[in-house]
Amino acid sequence: MEKNETVSDLRRQAEKELGIRLRDAEKQTELSPEEKDRLLHELQVHQIELEMQNDELRRIQLELETARNRYSDLYDLAPVGYITVSGEGLISEANLTISAMLGVEKSSVIGKPFSRFIASDSQDVYYFHRRKLFKTGCRQICEIELRKQDGPRFYVRLESILAEDAEGKMSPQARTVVTDISAHKQIEEEKKILESQIRQANKMEAIGTLAGGIAHDFNNVLSIIIGNAELASDDLPPSHPAHLNIDEIRKAGMRAADIAKQLLSFTRKTKQNLKPLDAGPVIRDVLRFMRSTIPTTIDIRQNFNATDTFVLADPTQITQVMMNLCTNAFQEMGKTGGILEISVENVVLDEEVAANYPHLSKGRYLRITVSDTGSGINSEIVDKIFDPYFTTKEFGHGSGMGLSVVHGIVKNHGGAITVDSEPGKGTAFNVFFPVVTEKPVRKTEPAGKPAYGNETILLVDDEKSVVKITGRLLERLGYQVETRTDPAEALKLFQSKSDQFDLVITDMTMPHMTGVTLSEKLLEIRKNIPIIICTGHSPLVDEKKARAMGIAAYVMKPVIRQEIARIIRELLDVQAG
């Protein structure tokens, strides 16, 4: 409407000017009718020409306005932010995208310093970015963090060039494209985490292989120690004072066997097996194990005040929780020493109190508190300590997975874990597990002397000392024993007189032929021969796999006479019946 009024005003002014000129001309000279007609014709032609030019100008103006609106839409609604920053660092132009990124209105951006929206630890990066841009005049790219008005930070890439003035000369203004790269950064972070997980998995696999080999040899040695202790005890009269010492040797050997099992449990990937468990003995076993690894400058204190320590849990994972928490605690005090205190007690949480703990409901719980007198945890990072790969330790001294694993295990057990820490005074972790009324079914072993027999047994193991002590134990039980240290020789012997053997006991890990392979060949010769796999450790077979192959029993070393005697007797009685 305003444009049409402007055109009309111009036309009226032109007509007025024309009238004035015509009057002036009439005063100066009298025109003939023909000249007046010619002059009128020319004026009409000029008028039409001007009207056509005016229409063309209006069309061009409309096209310019359309193009300007299109450019404005493209500028404002572009997937990236656009800003123009003056030499003083003030934003003179901005599109809607950058204002949406920053969480403010566009009007709140114009005239403000761009540095106001930059995170503090990115200020120097932006300063050098602008400095190099104005110094070289060349395009510059950098990555920084911006801060939204309500606080959250996000990563962006800046790509800046110097703006040109109307004459095409460089002006002291920077035109910058701002690209949100937060998603890209997150993908990079996830990739790093995945790579770290793969490295950790490979490391754990290597450790597992190493631990398995050590456990195999370690359990063979323990078989010799415990077996000789049992034989020595048999050879002494009941009143002999050496029985006390021999019994201590046997007990120490059994504790060492438990330690070997615990070491293996940290390198095995096993399915979670929740069952009613008395957590008290598990915790005490961990503390006994930790005492041998923790420096004597750290005093371990135990407060077991719980009257009911039965929880629905996986014993291996409860052990892992305690090991990780205790290890973290003593590492905090490694240089200065201090007190590592473990408290176990029952607590009852009502609805109001339970609401303060994530994932907990009202009920009765077993609370395990692991506290230390170390340096404590800074309040700024205490909320991050359960995040995967977060660690405050020096490079190479921690994977950042310990507390994350603990948190996952506790959560999967229906429990919760909290931390209380004060810098300079120490840290306390509180773990809650729901108490269960169901108690585990206890297997009672028959008391008295081990079961005897007189059948013939083929014993195969590549360790001569193991063959020797195990053979003597079996002979003391009344059995006839044929021993071989080479599985190939044992196979030949069995082929020649398979009907003379009532049972076979074989090691698993042997040169040239595993115990499983030997067992399969023996079963091809005689399908009903009872076979016992006896191993210190094997990643290839467990009890379930062994039974699926037709192997009668699976026994872990070290061999305990009472246990092996019972298993042998049960198998032979089944065979005879």
In tens, the pLDDT along 452-484 reads 899 999 999 999 999 999 999 999 999 999 999
pLDDT for residue 345 is more than 60? yes
Predicted confidence at residue 398, as pLDDT, reads 45
Within a domain: residue 410?
yes
pLDDT for residue 2 is more than 80? no
CATH number, position 96: 3.30.450.20
Q: Are 509 and 538 spatial neighbours (Cβ–Cβ below 8 Å)?
A: yes
Q: Region 323-330: what's the mean pLDDT?
A: 87
Cα distance between residue 220 and residue 558, in whole Å: 6
Within a domain: residue 517?
yes
Q: pLDDT tens-digit profile of 29-69?
A: 566 777 777 777 777 778 887 888 888 888 888 888 877 77
Q: pLDDT tens-digit profile of 397-456?
A: 444 446 777 888 888 888 988 888 888 888 899 999 999 987 766 555 444 567 889 999
- Among 488, 470, 390, which residue's Cα sits nearest to residue 193? 390
Average pLDDT, the chain: 83
171 and 88 in a common domain: yes
Predicted confidence at residue 169, as pLDDT, reads 62
| Strands lying side by side in the sheet with 503-506 | 480-484, 456-460, 503-506, 531-535, 553-556
Which domain-ending residue is among 402, 434, 466?
434
Q: Are 552 and 571 spatial neighbours (Cβ–Cβ below 8 Å)?
A: yes
Most confident by average pLDDT, 118-132, 216-230, 440-454, 527-541: 118-132
86 and 63 in a common domain: no
pLDDT for residue 499 is more than 70? yes
Helix axes of 561-576 and 464-476: crossing angle, nearest 10 degrees:
60
Predicted confidence at residue 28, as pLDDT, reads 53
Predicted confidence at residue 264, as pLDDT, reads 66
Which domain-ending residue is among 180, 212, 245?
180
Within a domain: residue 226?
no
55 and 113 in a common domain: no
Which domain-ending residue is among 34, 49, 76?
76
pLDDT for residue 395 is more than 60? no
Q: How many domains does the chain have?
A: 4
Q: Region 333-341: what's the mean pLDDT?
A: 85
Q: pLDDT tens-digit profile of 510-535?
A: 888 999 999 999 999 999 999 999 98
Predicted confidence at residue 31, as pLDDT, reads 62
Q: Is 186 helix (H, G, I), strand (E, B) or coil?
A: helix
Q: pLDDT tens-digit profile of 92-107?
A: 999 988 888 998 998 8
Q: Region 364-376: what's the mean pLDDT?
A: 90
Of the two residues 112 and 402, the one the predictor is more confident about is 112
Please report how many Cα atoms fall inside a 13 Å half-sphere around the Cα of residue 517, on the Cβ side. 10
pLDDT for residue 180 is more than 80? yes
Within a domain: residue 265?
no
430 and 488 in a common domain: no
400 and 374 in a common domain: yes
pLDDT for residue 390 is more than 80? no
Matching residue, tokens 């080999």: 213
Hey, how many other C-beta atoms are within 10 angstroms of the C-beta on 477? 20
Q: Region 372-396: what's the mean pLDDT?
A: 66
Matching residue, tokens 């009207």: 51
Predicted confidence at residue 557, as pLDDT, reads 87
426 and 563 in a common domain: no
Two tokens at 55? Answer: 């229409």
- Among 547, 557, 569, 335, which residue's Cα sits nearest to residue 450? 569
DSSP 375: -
Within a domain: residue 249?
no
* Domain enclosing residue 14, as ranges: 2-76
Within a domain: residue 194?
no
Within a domain: residue 256?
no
398 and 338 in a common domain: yes
**Could you tell me the pLDDT band of residue 193, with boundaries at 50, 70 and 90?**
confident
pLDDT for residue 378 is more than 80? no
- Among 281, 275, 267, which residue's Cα sits nearest to residue 314? 275
430 and 531 in a common domain: no
Q: pLDDT tens-digit profile of 271-301?
A: 556 788 899 988 988 888 788 778 888 899 9
Q: Are 170 and 160 spatial neighbours (Cβ–Cβ below 8 Å)?
A: no
Cα distance between residue 98 and residue 180, in whole Å: 9
395 and 526 in a common domain: no
End-to-end alpha carbon distance in the chain: 113
548 and 417 in a common domain: no
412 and 321 in a common domain: yes
Q: Are 83 and 96 spatial neighbours (Cβ–Cβ below 8 Å)?
A: no
425 and 306 in a common domain: yes
Q: pLDDT tens-digit profile of 69-94?
A: 777 767 777 889 999 998 889 999 99
